[in-house]
Amino acid sequence: MPGRSLLEKIWDQHVIARLSEDTDLLHIDRHLLHDLGGSRGLLDLKSRGLKVHNPELTFATPDHALSTAPGRAGTSKIGQELLAALRVETAASGITLFDVDQPGQGIVHVIGPELGLSLPGATIVCGDSHTCTHGGLGALAFGIGSSELTHVLATQALIQRRPKTLRARFEGKLPLGVTAKDMILALIGQIGAAGGTGYAVEYAGSAIRALPIEGRLTICNLSIELGAKMGMVAPDEKTFEFLRGRPYAPQGEMWDRAVKAWRELPSDPDAVFDREVVIDVEKIIPQVTWGISPEHVVGVDGVIPDPKAIDDPARRAAVETALEYMGLQGGAPIAGTPVDWVFIGSCTNSRLSDLRAAAEVARGRKVAAGVRAWVVPGSENVKREAVAEGLDKIFIDAGFEWREPGCSMCLAANGEVVAPGQRSVSTSNRNFVGRQGPRARTHLASPASAAASAIAGAIADVRMMGR
Amino acid sequence: MPKPFDKLTATAAPIMRSNIDTDVIIRIERLVGNSIRGTLGKWAFGSLRYLPDGSENPDFILNREPYREAEILVTGPNFGCGSSREGAVWSLQERGIRAVIGSGFGDIFFANCFQNGILPVIVDKAVVDQLAADIEATQGAGKVSIDLEAQTIVSPSGARHSFEMDPRRRDGLLKGLDEVALTLQRDDEIHAFQASDRTARPWIHSTRISA
Ligand code: SF4
């Protein structure tokens, strides 16, 4: 019998009942709720006359609809109603809520790891597709829809089909100025936005082992942009060091037992994967997207694809549509494209290490005239740590706006939008049509690249910034 | 409770662009709120359906006859990729769509379809392209038939294609089963699992911190 993969080990440990050859009823260890779907799910449950099965395994925080303006001024009426409903319904069900201005509040996918709620070997779900982020700690984490959300509230379990497995091995030493964000964007460029559909992805290889946990979270965050609803990295000593002492991580003797169990999780050397991809990271340069899908990506020293040079009619039409939406010329270099907005934030890139990387570029420089640049920390704790280090001052001195934690302009659900036709460099995860606001044009990039672009007033190669 | 699905013969609209994401199917601001069900049909594909001034975009297929009445979408690769928002499926449903046929769908969108009695059918890209061509050859007048029990699609040209479907999911759709009620019948098994898991992995279950 071949060895088992990380996915198979976690999966098997959670099977409550086998429902068919490839479908199981899985136990869910952690359920995270946010303001857009949390109260709706709890109300749905109530209307069916059901109770939350395990409130102690369920946690909530507002992030999507909340204003990130100082003092939260500008939270819309509907945003306030959602927050009020989340407070009432979580209290009634005995669910812990990390509320506004409290340590613990933040983007769900930032606070789970930060609080030690997300643990290796755990099954974690949330009504949000970027739940795959938590896989960076060696968890089996995935996004669910509203119906599945109600199902988990009612049963603490979920009916799931076992996915195929894909191992993406990143090998080599990451060049200077190249980050986890660039690694995962390069992979999406290589295998496409549907390259991972139907798979659980395990990220492995020397470059993944070398990455700090926050970088692994960034990598796993973009799994869904590969089409994979689950992405994961095997836990190792770095994972344990990251989690040790966090509020919800096990303590004392229980910690030792947990670590012992977590050491058994990594894929066996003879584990078999349905598909394997190898990426040479030494060839990766900072990435930036040019179109309306994360697979529309090039190195920052590259050129925008020219539709005239594409033979396949379907692909040519797709590129033309994307370029028209983005207001770009095929064949032109991507660097130097003037920008109106820079957004540093989102569950992809709003952790302390991301803010440090951006601040390193911004320090002592000025945001170009005509550019609005925002820094939105991922959580209340990230904000406080950043302030304690003086990062807020570096950003403010450079002309960035320093905001309160939340999803903000990643999704524009809270009214924080890029105006129609304006161009944004964003550290978030989706450059979809209208994602940052109707007819807004989004270029995805790393925090360092985004900061460099804010300073330059145009899409910029951070490696030319001389730091 | 999802509506059962067994057979359907209806107008089908090809929307062949690849990577139509759930943000394009329904914009987020339409989904902010606790009582949005029933309001979403007119916002399905909003950014494609309407021009910036709010008027209908005459070029968009669902704004043209006879596609306006379509109950089936024939879609390009990776339709429904992106966000987990079930509102994408709700908006299609409220727009009258009962089935989607494509070469591949976003995993979460695909799962959400079953939860709402919408049939997502995966067939080879060549079959999708042929279906789209057959529909366009009749300018949309030719209907597409889907038989879930038999797992077949009949194109306006009369060509018959079979498709694969997870038997458990097919059964759920045919009967309109409610998964929550089904799983609750196994509540004893869930409790038994938790009791033994509490011994095996106590750190998962003791989450109350004293701080
Ligand atoms: S930051 Fe963006 S992608 Fe992440 S949870 Fe919030 S809205 Fe979703």
Within 8 A of B107 by CB-CB distance, chain A residues are 163, 197-198, 227-229
Check if A109 has its Cβ closer than 6 Å to any atom of ligand 1.
yes
Q: Are residues A186 and A326 in the same domain?
A: no
Residue type, A239: T
Distance CA A30, CA A47 (A): 23
End-to-end CA distance of chain A: 51
Domain count, chain A: 2
Within 8 A of A17 by CB-CB distance, chain B residues are 186, 189
Taken in order A87, A89, A94, A97, the sign of the CA dihedral is: negative
Say whether the ipTM exceeds 0.85: yes
* Domain assignment of residue A454, yes or no: yes
For B103-188, list the strands marked E by DSSP: 119-122, 144-147, 152-154, 160-162
Ligand 1: nearest atom to the Cα of A430: 3
Q: Are residues A294 and A271 in the same domain?
A: no
Q: Are residues A389 and A262 in the same domain?
A: no
Q: Do A413 and B207 touch (CB under 8 A)?
A: no
Structure tokens at A162: 């076992």
pLDDT for B209 equals: 66
* Domain assignment of residue A263, yes or no: yes
In this structure, how many other beta carbons lie within 10 angstroms of the beta carbon of residue A442?
A: 28
DSSP state of A278: E
Q: Does A159 touch chain B (CB under 8 A)?
A: yes
Q: How confident is the model at residue A465 (pLDDT cuts 50, 70, 90)?
A: confident
State the CATH number of the domain containing residue A86.
3.30.499.10
* Domain assignment of residue A327, yes or no: yes
The domain boundary, picked from A275, A308, A333, lies at A275
Check if A435 has its Cβ closer than 6 Å to any atom of ligand 1.
no
Q: Are residues A407 and A457 in the same domain?
A: yes
Report chain A's mean pLDDT, rounded to a whole number. 97
The domain boundary, picked from A229, A249, A275, lies at A275
Taken in order A211, A214, A215, A219, the sign of the CA dihedral is: positive
* Domain assignment of residue A411, yes or no: yes
Identify the three-state secondary structure at position A452.
Answer: helix
Going from the C-alpha of A165 to that of each of A13, A229, A386, the distances in angstroms are 17, 12, 38
Residue type, A228: A
For A246, the domain range is 6-275
* Domain assignment of residue A44, yes or no: yes
In this structure, how many other beta carbons lie within 10 angstroms of the beta carbon of residue A56?
A: 13
The domain boundary, picked from A222, A246, A275, lies at A275
Instruction: Give yes or no for residue A467 having a pLDDT over 90.
Output: no
Q: Does A36 touch chain B (CB under 8 A)?
A: yes
Cα–ligand 1 centroid distance for A407 (angstroms)? 5
Nearest CA to ligand 1 atom 6: A407
Identify the three-state secondary structure at position B6.
Answer: coil
Instruction: Give yes or no for residue B154 having a pLDDT over 90.
Output: yes
Going from the C-alpha of B97 to that of each of A85, B69, B73, B74, the distances in angstroms are 31, 9, 7, 11
Work out the percent of chain B whose per-residue pLDDT is above 90.
91
Residue type, A213: I
Going from the C-alpha of A294 to that of each of A64, A189, A331, A449, B48, the distances in angstroms are 21, 7, 19, 16, 20
Q: Does A78 touch chain B (CB under 8 A)?
A: yes
A349-385 core/surface letters (b: 16 or more CB in 10 A; e: else): bbbbbbbbbbbbbbbebebbeebbbbbbbbbbbbbeb
Instruction: Give yes or no for residue B210 having a pLDDT over 70.
Output: no
Helix, strand, coil abundance in chain A, percent, nearest 5: 40, 20, 40
B59-84 core/surface letters (b: 16 or more CB in 10 A; e: else): ebbbbeeebeebbbbbbbbbbbbbbb
> pLDDT tens for residues A389-408?
999 999 999 999 999 999 99
* Domain assignment of residue A1, yes or no: no
Q: Which domains does chain B have, with CATH numbers?
A: 7-176 (3.20.19.10)
- The structure tokens 């009504």 sit at A127
Q: Are residues A263 and A340 in the same domain?
A: no
Structure tokens at A148: 């599945």
Q: How confident is the model at residue B211 (pLDDT cuts 50, 70, 90)?
A: very low
User: Nearest-CA residue of chain B relative to A36?
Assistant: B32
* Domain assignment of residue A283, yes or no: no
> pLDDT tens for residues A53-92?
999 999 999 999 999 999 898 888 888 999 999 999 999 9
Q: Are residues A267 and A292 in the same domain?
A: no
Element (H, E) at B204: helix B202-205
Instruction: Give yes or no for residue A196 having a pLDDT over 90.
Output: yes
> pLDDT tens for residues A412-437?
888 899 999 999 999 999 999 999 99
Instruction: Tell me which of A67, A411, A428, A442 to substitute to probe ligand 1's pocket, judged by most ligand atoms within 8 Å of the beta carbon.
Output: A411
Work out the percent of chain A whose per-residue pLDDT is above 70.
100
Check if A258 has its Cβ closer than 6 Å to any atom of ligand 1.
no
Q: Annotate B24-52 with three-state secondary structure.
A: HHCCHHHHCCCCCCCCCHHHCCHHHHECC
Q: Are residues A326 and A217 in the same domain?
A: no
- Residues in A 187-216 with any Cβ partner in B closer than 8 A: 193-194, 197-198
Strand pairing of A15-18 and A23-27? antiparallel
DSSP state of A249: S
Q: Are residues A113 and A207 in the same domain?
A: yes
For residues A135 and A141, is the Cβ–Cβ distance under 8 A? yes
Instruction: Give yes or no for residue B16 having a pLDDT over 90.
Output: yes
Lowest mean pLDDT among A325-329, A381-385, A463-467: A463-467
* Domain assignment of residue A336, yes or no: yes
Q: Are residues A294 and A241 in the same domain?
A: no
Taken in order A404, A107, A112, A243, the sign of the CA dihedral is: negative
DSSP state of B2: P
Distance CA B148, CA B2 (A): 15
Within 8 A of B206 by CB-CB distance, chain A residues are 254
> pLDDT tens for residues A211-226?
999 999 999 999 999 9
Check if A14 has its Cβ closer than 6 Å to any atom of ligand 1.
no
pLDDT for B9 equals: 98
> pLDDT tens for residues A96-119?
999 999 999 999 999 999 999 999
Distance CA A98, CA A134 (A): 18
Contacting residues for A71 by C-beta, under 8 A, at least 6 apart: A404
Q: Are residues A262 and A305 in the same domain?
A: no
Q: Do B183 and A227 touch (CB under 8 A)?
A: no
Instruction: Give yes or no for residue B138 having a pLDDT over 80.
Output: yes
Contacting residues for B63 by C-beta, under 8 A, at least 6 apart: B49, B56, B57
Q: Are residues A247 and A299 in the same domain?
A: no
Q: Are residues A345 and A237 in the same domain?
A: no
Ligand 1: nearest atom to the Cα of A429: 3
Cα–ligand 1 centroid distance for A410 (angstroms)? 6
Q: Do B34 and A39 touch (CB under 8 A)?
A: yes
**Helix A77-93 and helix A38-47, axial crossing angle in degrees, nearest 10:** 50
